[in-house]
Structure 1
């Protein structure tokens, strides 16, 4: 796992073999956006400690959606440190193991990529302490706004920190070499609409579920890519 600074003393990316998560700091209070695949908990704890931070200050884990590379370590981290696990109402039953993971409608070129993604360990069922809705405001980052962004999964969300100009897009948007619509969508047209909604927030920093964060001309890049995206 790689630990990458995005904003000094505020935001770090935790990059796993498949996917990534983000650690946000409010003083000593910590929030994870996504939690990596199953088996990542030890690496996440080491990363937190390497920053001189106390993992017991992890207050919440916000899941952008229900896929295994984002959910896998959430339950173990919550047990260790008492963090609350939060997910959108529509994906929460999948996180809990009550419903199957929704199957994407794959484009031909996505098929081998999807097979690679399935090599990540399957996520164990994980309880959800709070079910989120569009417009909910969470108590970190100066007021983190939940933005429902369906399409990748029905309960996918973005997390917007207006006070800091930061947007976590989950897998609705990717930054793999360029800003683009995320892959493996259950509803591509819905994902395009969600991409455009997220782009309209015009953040200064965009943090993707896959790919490096975008920190320069971010609003322009998001807008252009969203307008070019097609269903």
Structure 2
């Protein structure tokens, strides 16, 4: 997990970090789930190198939704290392700068948090090389599955790795002392239904866009959040 001033991204490594052809990281393939804000590219590259991996092995960047704290650095990273950028079809026009991001319907207690979120710098128009749909399989993690979970944004997705019991939820779920529905939703009813769908996947590990991942009892934590 790479943590930024607001939000975080995750690096998935397939293969062996130690190459069989003489270079560190040469036997691996890397996938980035989200990319941080527009200033995060250097930190992501440095973080990959500190893990003993070569950033040139970054094959894809999967964006969970079209908010600037999640896709701001995607274009720069993709240009540096040749990665493909992927996002759901409904959020792709926002990420490309063709459509304005939808305004959230804020609850009163979310207003101070929203003011803080607005300090994230604007993201540049960013290409999307592949538009995703619910159920698409992605070639990492033994067959990652796209889970469309609208509500936070129309094109929000989770990324489920059933073989490993890992679920990346984006901002559809958050952790702030307890697991909870993500904030700043465009449609709260849809968001609640999406939380229930993600909980039904019963992962062993759940990785959120904001807050500490659940590495134990993730299924129970998600179920409890859905019931609340």
- In the superposition, the TM-score normalised over structure 1's length comes to 0.93
Matches within 5 A, 1:78-97: 78-97=78-97
* Alpha-carbon offset, residue 121 of structure 1: 0.9
* Alpha-carbon offset, residue 115 of structure 1: 1.0
DSSP-derived class of the 1:158 partner: strand
Q: Provide the C-alpha distance between the structure 1 equivalents of 2:221 and 2:51, rounded to a whole number of angstroms.
A: 31
Match of 1:67 in 2: 67
* Alpha-carbon offset, residue 72 of structure 1: 0.2
Matches within 5 A, 1:10-89: 13-27=1-15, 28-89=28-89
Match of 1:7 in 2: none
Match of 2:20 in 1: none
1:128-165 C-alpha deviation (Å, 9 max, x unpaired): 00000000000000000000000000000000000000
Does residue 99 of structure 2 align to residue 99 of structure 1?
A: yes
* Alpha-carbon offset, residue 175 of structure 1: 1.1
Q: Give structure 1 regions of 4+ aligned residues with deviation exceeding 6 angstroms.
A: none
Q: Provide the C-alpha distance between the structure 1 equivalents of 2:56 and 2:169, rounded to a whole number of angstroms.
A: 26
Query: Any unmatched runs of 5+ in structure 1?
Result: 1-12
1:29-65 C-alpha deviation (Å, 9 max, x unpaired): 0000000000110110000000010000000000000
- In the superposition, the TM-score normalised over structure 2's length comes to 0.94
Does residue 188 of structure 2 align to residue 188 of structure 1?
A: yes
Matches within 5 A, 1:62-211: 62-211=62-211
1:62-105 C-alpha deviation (Å, 9 max, x unpaired): 00000010000000000000000000000000000000011000
* Alpha-carbon offset, residue 176 of structure 1: 1.6
* Alpha-carbon offset, residue 118 of structure 1: 1.1
The root-mean-square deviation of aligned C-alpha atoms, in Å, is 0.5
Q: Provide the C-alpha distance between the structure 1 equivalents of 2:176 and 2:142, rounded to a whole number of angstroms.
A: 29
Match of 2:213 in 1: 213
Q: Provide the C-alpha distance between the structure 1 equivalents of 2:201 and 2:172, rounded to a whole number of angstroms.
A: 14
DSSP-derived class of the 1:221 partner: helix
DSSP-derived class of the 2:147 partner: strand
DSSP-derived class of the 2:61 partner: strand
Query: Any unmatched runs of 5+ in structure 2?
Result: 16-27
Q: Provide the C-alpha distance between the structure 1 equivalents of 2:118 and 2:69, rounded to a whole number of angstroms.
A: 9
